[in-house]
Amino acid sequence: MSDPKVDALGRVPLFSRCTRKELEFLASRTDEVNLKPNHTLIKQGSASDSFYVLLEGEAKVEVDGKARPSLHAGDFFGEIGMLDRGPATATVITTTPARAMVMSHAQFRDAIKTSDSLLSTVLGAAADRLRRDSLDRGKAG
């Protein structure tokens, strides 16, 4: 029997190497939410306590007030704050109606503790985002 939540997570590149069992575990740790346009999900500099996987819709991203590439279905964000509980490094605002899966810090911690490959992928994605933002700041200066 197919589970729509598990299937949706399986289509997200971040989770592409997860087994069906790992995807089922992840799905049990997420909440699905419907979002209206112009809803601020994360605000740069504020505490960030959620990890998001965008299932439908789009969101804009700003770092230091400058536009970054938009997010679309399959994209994720909030992973940096999940790793260290520090302030958000970007602002993310929906631009269309959207549907997302959300994990609290505790849910995220449980998920990455069960999969070394998932932890490695999340750390790599966080490092890549931080490096890109740092390089972009250097070009602007």
Sheet containing strand 66-71, edge to edge, reads 40-42, 91-94, 59-63, 66-71
Backbone phi, psi, residue 134, to 5°: -65, -45
pLDDT at 52: 92
Which secondary structure element, helix H or strand E, spans residue 96, and what is its range? none
Amino acid at 31: D
pLDDT at 9: 81
Tens-level pLDDT at each residue, the chain (141 residues): 678 888 888 877 777 777 888 888 888 888 899 999 999 999 999 988 898 989 899 999 999 999 999 999 988 888 878 777 888 989 999 999 999 999 888 888 887 777 777 778 778 877 787 787 777 766 655
Domain boundaries, the chain: 4-140
Which secondary structure element, helix H or strand E, spans residue 101, and what is its range? strand 98-104
- Mapped onto helix, strand or coil, the DSSP state of residue 127 is helix
Q: Measure the CA–CA gap between 32 and 42, rounded to whole angstroms.
A: 17
What homologous superfamily does CATH list for 4-140? Jelly Rolls (2.60.120.10)
pLDDT at 141: 55
Q: Measure the CA–CA gap between 17 and 41, rounded to whole angstroms.
A: 27
Integer Rg of the chain from CA: 15
pLDDT at 94: 98
Q: What is the pLDDT of residues 41-71, one digit of tens each?
A: 999 999 888 989 898 999 999 999 999 999 9
Q: Token pair for residue 77?
A: 């964000």
